Structure 1
Amino acid sequence: MEIKLKYGIDNLLFGMKEQDVIKILGKPDSSYKDEDENVVYVYNSRKLRLTFYKEEDFRLGYMTTSNPIVKLFNTSLISKNWSEVYPILEKNKVKYFESDTIEGILSYFNEENWLFFHLDYNEIIKIELGAVFKEKEDDFDWKF
């Protein structure tokens, strides 16, 4: 599973509809609506959660994974120390991160790529990525 910044993961692209994702991954193990009435698909064996935004005609807008095979810049990320991963990100021009700690979980956020890394005990445990906005606009830059 390769993260493609601003695009998605593998052949899952931001902007896909539910039926497009089902054609690729099959039916989810479970699904639910979040507090904003967005539809969330859960794929247990892939350790992948996909969110379809209600206000965007249920387009795929957000992905969350803790899958140990997920890669970015050809590097596995889950269970790696931040000190191992950050130099790779920086080398690939992903280097401005805000950080926050909630209940012992340290999170790093890169707004340009709408990319989150969540760490526990200094190891990456979860990655989130979202669709980005078009430059100087309030519309999403859908890739599908």
Structure 2
Amino acid sequence: MEIKLKYGIDNLLFGMKEQDVIKILGKPDSSYKDEDENVVYMYHTRKLRLTFYKDEDFKLGYMTTSNSGVKLFNSFLIGKDWSEVYPILEKNKIKPFEMDTNEGVVSYFNEPNWLFFHVDYNEIIKIELGAVFKEKEDDFDWKF
């Protein structure tokens, strides 16, 4: 599974509708509505959570994964030490990162790519990425 910054993961693109995703991945293992009434699909074996935004006509706007097969810049990320991954990101001009800590889990956030890395015991345990906004606009830059 390859992360394509600002686009999505593999052939899952920000802006897809539920039926587009089902054509690619099949029906989710489970689904629910979050506190904002967004629809969330869970694919357990893929360790993938997809969020369709209610306010955007249920377009795919957010992805979360802890799949050990996820890659960025040809490097596997889950389970890797943050100190191994950060230089790869920096080399590819993915910076700066804001840092936050919650109950021992450190989160690194890169706003230009709407990319989060969650690190526990210095090991990346989860990655989140979201649709980005168009430059100088409040509209999402949908890729589908």
Shorter chain as denominator, the TM-score bin is: over 0.9
Deviations 1:64-121 (A, max 9, x none): 0000000000000001011100000001010200000001110000000000000000
Alpha-carbon distance in structure 2 between the residues aligned to 1:83 and 1:103: 20
1:24: Cα distance to partner?
0.1
For residue 17 of structure 2, what is the aligned residue in structure 1? 17
Alignment pair present for 1:107 and 2:91: no
C-alpha RMSD over aligned residues? 0.3
For residue 31 of structure 1, what is the aligned residue in structure 2? 31
Q: Return the TM-score normalized by structure 2.
A: 1.00
Q: The residue matched to 2:19 in structure 1 has which SS?
A: helix
1:130: Cα distance to partner?
0.1
Whichever residue aligns with residue 29 of structure 1, its letter is D
Question: Equivalences for 1:35-54 in 2 at 5 Å?
Answer: 35-54=35-54
Q: Percent identity?
A: 87
For residue 63 of structure 1, what is the aligned residue in structure 2? 63
Q: The residue matched to 2:112 in structure 1 has which SS?
A: coil
Q: The residue matched to 1:87 in structure 2 has which SS?
A: helix
Whichever residue aligns with residue 73 of structure 2, its letter is F
Alignment: residue pair count = 144
Q: Which 4+ residue blocks in structure 1 deviate beyond 4 angstroms?
A: none
Alpha-carbon distance in structure 2 between the residues aligned to 1:44 and 1:82: 25
Alpha-carbon distance in structure 2 between the residues aligned to 1:122 and 1:90: 17
Whichever residue aligns with residue 25 of structure 2, its letter is L
Whichever residue aligns with residue 122 of structure 2, its letter is N
Alpha-carbon distance in structure 2 between the residues aligned to 1:67 and 1:91: 23
Q: The residue matched to 1:112 in structure 2 has which SS?
A: helix
Alpha-carbon distance in structure 1 between the residues aligned to 2:83 and 2:120: 13
Alpha-carbon distance in structure 1 between the residues aligned to 2:51 and 2:140: 14
Alignment pair present for 1:125 and 2:125: yes
Alpha-carbon distance in structure 1 between the residues aligned to 2:54 and 2:141: 16
Q: Return the TM-score normalized by structure 1.
A: 1.00
